[in-house]
Each structure stands twice: as C-alpha cells, then as structure tokens.
Amino acid sequence: MTKPLRLVSIAAAVAAVALGNGAARALACGNSQGYSYTRIGSASDAFGISAQIAQTSTFDVLNGHVSAWVGVRGKGQGLYGTSNEWLRVGYAGFPSITGSDLYYEVGLPGRYPTYHQVSAAPAVGTYTKVTVLEMHKRPNLWRVWVNHRPVSPPIKLPGSHDGLKATAISESWDGGTGTCNDYSFSFRHLSIADAPGGDWQQLG
C-alpha cells in the first residue's frame, strides 16, 4: 500500500549544493570519514525519483571525488556502504579533470557496487534529467533513465517493491586526506514517483 510522502532534509557541515531552483558553490571539507554532503528525500517508501541536475562551474577536486545524484536505497539503511542495496544516477567528478561523468551505480547485498559510465557530462550549466524508477507491473525491477531515455537494462533489486527510500544527494569525499574540494551543482524539478512506472509528485 502506498504511503503519503514527506521530506527529510539533512544539511552537511558545509552546504555542498543547492537542492532546488538555484545553485551554490562550496568548499567542502570532510568529516571523520572524509565526507560532506547535503541530502533531501522521502521519509516513506517511494517507487522512483527524478531531477534535473547541472554542473554549474568548473571543479577543483584535489582528492577523492565529488558527485550529485538521485536514487533509491535499502529501507532503514545508512549511506556510504551501509545500505544493503541501492540504485543511483547522476554526475561524478574526480581529481585533475574540470568536467564530470554522467553515471549510474548499482549496489546489491553481499556484492561490491558497480559503476557504469553513461557519457561524459554535458557542458557546464546544461541541465540533464536523470531518473531511477521501478518498472510498471514488474515488481523489484528498476531502470535508469537520462533525458527520458533508458540507459540501463532492467535491474533487479531483491525485495525492493514498496520498500526503498528515495534520495537526492550532493557529496564530497576527500579520499581520507583531510583536504577540501571545490565544486558546484544545481538540482531542479525534483519529483518522487508514488507508483511503479510513474505517478509523479513534484517536491517543493
């Protein structure tokens, strides 16, 4: 049974991104695990999430990575390796490059996550629509979409039907060095699916 959705928002020690119709530049320095992040998402289960994301300036990533993505994750689980399963799509930037990858990542119980490059990211300032969505009438099967086109095969997330949280995140990881990464992303038109295959609700 579908439950009403409400938002949970957690701000990082530094603001790493603008989640909404705007952008913010951040000098992100990690916590004791090397991460800083901003997150917004559903407190109840969802069937998908979608947003338009743009890289709004060139990066200065000294160590580790920066990223901005939307996705779903295992119910009641944490981030950064403690989720039992997840599927996400978005941008990732790395040291010594000014641009970023457009990618999706799959995490399954008992396996190492798999990273799939979709393409080199669009030009700075260009928004890309990214979506993770459970397939209509195919419980536990999900797909990744970019600009309204599927970019992944059907992906099975065991036990995921009506059991995953939807999240939008921007994060920086310093590679365990204590250094700070400089980057900027913008999110807009953030929506959550209230049923497999769609029934989108735009988040204010």
- Specify the CATH number for the domain of residue 180: 2.60.120.200
Rounded Cα distance, 194 and 173, in Å: 32
Mean per-residue pLDDT, 139-150: 96
Residues with Cβ within 8 Å of 81's Cβ and at least 6 positions away in sequence, in order, are: none
pTM for the model stands at: 0.81
Question: Could you list the residue range(s) of the whole structural domain that residue 23 is in?
Answer: 18-194
Q: Are 17 and 187 in contact (CB under 8 A)?
A: yes
> Is residue 3 in a domain?
no
Q: How many CA atoms lie within 13 A of 92 on its CB side?
A: 17
What residue has token string 């920086």? 172
> Is residue 9 in a domain?
no
Rounded Cα distance, 88 and 102, in Å: 11
> Is residue 58 in a domain?
yes
> Is residue 2 in a domain?
no
> Is residue 87 in a domain?
yes
- Structurally, the chain folds into a number of domains equal to 1
Share of residues in the chain with pLDDT > 90 (%): 41
Mean of all residue pLDDT scores within the chain? 80
> Is residue 13 in a domain?
no
Distance of CA 92 to the CA centre of its chain: 10
pLDDT single digits (tens) 63-94: 888 899 999 988 544 444 445 789 999 999 88
> Is residue 148 in a domain?
yes
pLDDT single digits (tens) 81-137: 445 789 999 999 888 766 678 999 999 887 889 999 999 878 889 999 999 999 999
**Looking at per-residue confidence, does 156 or 61 come out higher?**
156
Does the structure show a pLDDT above 80 at 17? no
> Is residue 201 in a domain?
no
